[in-house]
Chains A and B, each alone.
Chain A
Amino acid sequence: MTTLTVRNLDAGYQDFQALFGVSLDLAEGETVALIGANGAGKTTLLMTLAGALRPWRGTIVMGGEDITADPDHQRARSGMVLVPEGRRLFASLTVEENILVPSTRRGAGPWTLEALYDLFPIVAARRSHRAAALSGGEQQAVAIARALAANPQILLMDEVSLGLAPAVVDDFYGLLPRIQASGVPILLVEQDIDRALAASSRAVCLLEGRVALAAESATLDRDELVSAYFGSPSGPAAPDQEVRA
């Protein structure tokens, strides 16, 4: 388990800049909630940390090592693992095969196949079914199990509750403490603010690609959060901000 230090991260897509000078820290064993409106840059930030997007400027340091220049597969092998938005399972593979794909770090931590089946009985029950045949909630469990199978040093989770029934989301958040107990730092993107704050020790709110607020989850001031989430009701966007394409 290790730490994450992000400094002054700029990133975007072709001509369009989506992140502006984002800095944040993740300590060992810490869960940080990443919140913000749609389009604020939460997924972009996770994708940049995971290496799917190349940062334009800034540094990403994991456990003391600068991984900014590493490509995505290298970062995953070093332990920066992403649970992608929308599950994105390998449709033609079975559940068990999906979990076995990240194979290089299998011995490096507590998450063996048996441990994962113990954590997610649903997954165990459907282990030889093709991933495409599973329900949304089952697929989400498999996606998380797949990420954990890589024994991550840093776990990035992107909107795990997206499109799932409340009862299913309850189940997931019920299991989250067991994942947190293993000590892995988690960066959790979550639309449901209450759940996000309840599950995390700190929260970072993004607004139009910038960190608008970073505070302890337990003592977060609601009014501050609203203005950080939606932006100030009267003023225009900052003068140096790129106009959206």
Chain B
Amino acid sequence: MSAKHAGGPTAAAGSQVRPGVATAVSVSQWSRSATVTVAASGVAAAVLITLPYVVGTQVTQPLVTLFLLVAMAALWNLLAGYAGMISFGQQAYLGIGAYAIYLIGRAGVNPFAAIPLAAVASGLAAAGIFLLLRPLTGGYFAVASWVVAECLFLYVTTQGWLGGATGAGLQQLSAMAPLVRQADTYWVALAVMAVCVAGVYLLVRSRFGLDSRAVHDEPAAAAAMGVEVQRTRRMAYILAAAGAGLVGGVLIISSLYIDPGSVFSVNYSADMLFMVVIGGLGTMEGPIIGAVIFFAAQQVFAQYGAWYLLGIGALAIGVVLLAPAGLWGSLAGRRGWSLLPVGYRVRPAGQGAP
């Protein structure tokens, strides 16, 4: 009987798998390039933190936009790229986060300090809403999540105490010196981006991440192996919503105003879709790259108005049909690059990871 491959992914790093097999293997989830990436990110973060001291708001304000875009892209990718749930309703949680900050601010609490509560509010709402969306997949899930966001929008416009259709202003911060407020907003946005990206990354590297990717690829097989499909989907949904809540909180703090028509707009979902698809669905690096590209395009082409969105839409369609792995996925997939590795790699023992 010929010996086929022995041992599985549970072999600890460096252990000999079976006597008689010629090579020992090491299994690792990290790599040298990952170490470099994390170190570089640390340096970049340090630089970014100092920016408000050295440059003016014409630099930091757009950066706030960029940070939020990166966060939104990473979160949408958690849902669509890893857990296989395409949602066109994440704007619901942007809105819930924003309105939570508005209400908490009205109660006298410092809105900056209240931002984690925005995540809690959105997370709780998501837990409830998921009860409704549970049995749905594919197009049903996508449009139903969109309808939920629309319902929230319609509800808010009828409620005077929330500002109705015209929206609500965040009065508490008007007493702050603008420069200080803008600097604080910048740092909070940077922190939110870091939390969202790091959070998604750690999640995807964990047991949860493996489960959700299994569910995404083959739900029936995953369920047969004991993966609790619905629990995994629920966790992904709630966490993505909580992250969106954080982003929503920063949105209202940043503009001091919340307008239901724009915060609950499906345009946010469109932006998230474009960033993730163009950057690379299902990878960690892709959404970040996609967000940067999207942001750059926005800055450069916004003057052309609707043509720019037309172009982005066409690009997204082209990517889906012709290069579904997106920019990063196409470049890195073939070469095996991985700046932020998620999966496990098996190598002969003693050979370092590239």
Contacts and interface: CB of A to CB of B under 8 A. Distances in A.
Nearest to A237: B2
A174 interface: no
Interface of A: 236-237, 243
Interface residues of B, dominant DSSP: loop
B279 to A, nearest CB: 25
B18 interface: no
B4 interface: yes
Nearest to B2: A236
Contacts of A236: 1-2
A208 to B, nearest CB: 12
Interface of B: 1-2, 4-5
B1 to A, nearest CB: 8
Q: Which 5 A-B pairs have the closest CB atoms?
A: A236-B2, A237-B2, A243-B4, A243-B5, A236-B1
A12 to B, nearest CB: 19
Contacts of B2: 236-237
Nearest to B3: A236
B19 to A, nearest CB: 20
Nearest to B4: A243
Nearest to B5: A243
Contacts of A243: 4-5
A236 B1 CA distance: 6
Contacts of B1: 236
A244 to B, nearest CB: 8
A232 to B, nearest CB: 12
A243 B4 CA distance: 8
A243 B6 CA distance: 13
Nearest to A234: B1
Nearest to B1: A236
A237 B4 CA distance: 11
A236 B4 CA distance: 11
A237 B2 CA distance: 8
B6 to A, nearest CB: 13
Contacts of B5: 243
Contacts of A237: 2
B20 to A, nearest CB: 15
A236 B5 CA distance: 14
Nearest to A244: B4
B91 to A, nearest CB: 37
A236 to B, nearest CB: 4
Nearest to A236: B2
A10 to B, nearest CB: 22
5 contacts: A236-B1, A236-B2, A237-B2, A243-B4, A243-B5
A237 B3 CA distance: 11
A243 B1 CA distance: 14
A73 B326 CA distance: 33
Contacts of B4: 243
A108 to B, nearest CB: 38
A219 B4 CA distance: 37
A58 B33 CA distance: 44
A93 B212 CA distance: 38
A36 B4 CA distance: 23
Nearest to A239: B2
A241 to B, nearest CB: 10
A237 B1 CA distance: 9
A193 B2 CA distance: 28
Nearest to A235: B2
A182 to B, nearest CB: 42
B81 to A, nearest CB: 21
A243 B2 CA distance: 11
